[in-house]
Amino acid sequence: MDFEVPALPYAKDALEPAMSAETLEFHYEKHHKGYMGKLKAALDGKPEASKSLEEIVKSSSGGVFNNSAQIFNHTFFWDGMKPSGGGAPPAGPVADLIAGMGGWDTFRADFVKAGMGQFGSGWAWLVVEGGKGSIVTTANADTPLTGSATPLLTADVWEHAYYIDHRNKRDAWLGDFCDKLINWDKVAERLKG
């Protein structure tokens, strides 16, 4: 396989206090890299090992899908955050997209509500399809990458994403994600395609 778990785009303590260095250490080093170890073992010596990660996600099932999709989702998640991020997006195409969804306050409330409504482990996503933004959730390793919508942003709602810092308060985690972490520059780059 010609891909690895990419390095984080910031120091492990850079997202504090919304996400602690301890959470990042466990989440990135144990969970994210653990998925890569399992995927490499599953594909060792197989023709699928020459595919890109996105190709593997779109064409696999079972354990190969679960591990490859989790690698994709987590990398997408890390890249969608930045220190001192969050809040309403700056003027431009992303702000226009959010305005089309009712504006920042509505988007924030709907994003938190969607993440809270995801029973068990999964993800809350901002996606775009046909020029319109929407918020969707996926369970476990599922990802919009396998559908027709283009993912722009995701928040991890698996407990390991927030339990050290927020205990069982998923809503507090999602609020911090929206208010302090979203990397709107990355969302704009993804929207532009």
Total-model pTM = 0.96
Q: H helices then E strands: how many in the chain?
A: 9, 3
Strands of the chain (E only): list them.
122-129, 132-139, 150-156
Residues 101 and 64 placed together within one structural domain of the fold: no
pLDDT at 175: 98
What's the rounded Cα separation, in Å, for the pair 97 and 156?
Answer: 22
Instruction: Give the CATH number for residue 178.
Output: 3.55.40.20
pLDDT at 108: 98
Domain of residue 50 covers 21-79
Let me know if residue 12 belongs to a domain.
no
Let me know if residue 7 belongs to a domain.
no
What's the rounded Cα separation, in Å, for the pair 162 and 168?
Answer: 8
Is the pLDDT at 28 greater than 80? The verdict is yes
pLDDT (tens digit per residue) in 31-83: 999 999 999 999 999 999 999 999 999 999 999 999 999 999 999 999 999 99
| Number of domain units in the chain | 2
Instruction: Give the CATH number for residue 33.
Output: 1.10.287.990
Nearest to residue 74, comparing CAs of 132, 42, 30? 30
Let me know if residue 108 belongs to a domain.
yes
Let me know if residue 129 belongs to a domain.
yes
Residues 98 and 58 placed together within one structural domain of the fold: no
